[in-house]
Structures are given as C-alpha cells and as structure tokens.
Amino acid sequence: MPEQGYETVRAEVRDRILTVTLNRPEKLNAFNPQMMGDLLDVFDAADADDDVRVIVVTGAGRGFCAGADVSSGGSSFDHRSAGARHRDTGAGSRCASSPAPSRSSRRSTARRPASGPA
C-alpha cells in the first residue's frame, strides 16, 4: 500500500502492519470531516491490500485525539450537507467493518483477533 498525500493522516506499512497516524498535532488531532475522508480512503486501500494484516491507529504530538473539532460551530459535522443518510456513515463504522484487525494506541487489546499469523 503506497503512502498517499493525505492532508490529516499519515499511513505506513511495515512488516504487514499498517500504522495510521492522525496528523493534526496543532489541534490535538481533533477529528474533522477531512480526517474522516482521509481515514476512509486509508481503510479502503488497506482492505484492497492483502499484505496488510493489522491496522494500528495512533496520534502525532502529545495527544491521540481530542475528539470532534467543533471550531466551526454547529455546522462542524453537518452530515446531511455531506450527502450522508445518517450520521454513522463515517470512519468509525468503516473501521469496525474492516476485515483487518485493528488496534488503537489508547487501548490495550485488539478490536478483532488476528485470523492467522501476522
């Protein structure tokens, strides 16, 4: 999986492990619509790459993720204007449906056990 020019995340595969780094350290990696799109692209590319066996999500700088970036007020996550039928069509849902086991840097256990040698 070649690294893409994402605006808010970095993605690197090494030893069949995809490390996704949330990369907005100046905002404590606060989640915004651009990050959602970048993560969805990364997860889609990982699903298409048989060499990716595990996905690890971490954050650049001193914080993993401060949560939603609501700096633009009430329209920060207006899912209807983005064309979504409901609000749960984003990266969290996509990550949960990915066939690759994933692990967040803030959790001590894998979301899904590996189904063979990594």
pLDDT at 89: 53
Residue at token pair 């690197």:
12
- Provide the H-helix boundaries in 49-111: 91-97
> What pLDDT digit, counting tens, does each position of 53-87 carry?
999 999 999 999 999 888 877 766 666 665 554 44
> pTM (2 decimals)?
0.69
